[in-house]
Amino acid sequence: MEPQLGSGPGFAAPPVASPVASPAMSPAAGPVASPLAELRAAVESGGPAAASPAVIPPPALPGDRVGVDQLSRIEDKAARIEEKYARSEALLNRVEDRVEKATARMGEAARGQDVAALRGEVAALDQRLRGVPGFGTLLLVGVLSALIGAGTTVAALRYGVPGVMPPIVNVGGQTR
């Protein structure tokens, strides 16, 4: 048995499965034409209407018009709230996209500055390395240093250093 909203000829009173009596129901007068009470009774009964929301209710009678108008206003308010929520969500999505784009731009700018700083350091290192002598120059300096050192040593032994060391070998005469 399906509970129905409405009362009058052609409508059956909703079954009440709850032991708590509804204020809209009085034992002496029978069911009172209150849509809210009928809806509450239908929900409390847990009948098939609660399980199948696709059931189309019968047309409302003039006595139920107040409840239908109130339900209509509630639905309108709910629709406006949903629209506001959708607009807010769209706005937040746009803000999120802008923040992501700005973050990406800032990351690229930081990488660009890092690359520029790295280029500067590499250029400075390259300049310093160009000032370092190559292998041929180092070899030539080593050979010249060896020849000058050997020549100076031979000259000091043969002729002596005045005031420091007397000559050890005489060139055309006696040796000491």
- Quick: pLDDT tens for 16-52: 444 444 444 444 444 445 777 777 777 777 654 444 5
Q: Is residue 85 scored above 70 in pLDDT?
A: yes
Cα distance between residue 97 and residue 136, in whole Å: 61
Residue 24 has a pLDDT of 45
Give the model confidence (pLDDT) of 151-176 as tens digits. Answer: 999 888 888 888 888 877 666 655 55
Question: Taking all residues of the chain, what is their mean pLDDT, rounded to a whole number?
Answer: 77
Which residues on neighbouring strands pair with residue 26, listed in sequence order?
Answer: 30
Confidence at 88, pLDDT banded by 50, 70, 90: very high
Give the model confidence (pLDDT) of 42-67 as tens digits. Answer: 777 765 444 455 556 555 555 678 88
Cα distance between residue 131 and residue 68, in whole Å: 94
Cα distance between residue 158 and residue 166, in whole Å: 9
Cα distance between residue 58 and residue 54, in whole Å: 13
Name the residue ranges covered by the structural domains of the chain. Answer: 65-132
Residue 119 has a pLDDT of 92
- pTM for the whole thing? 0.34
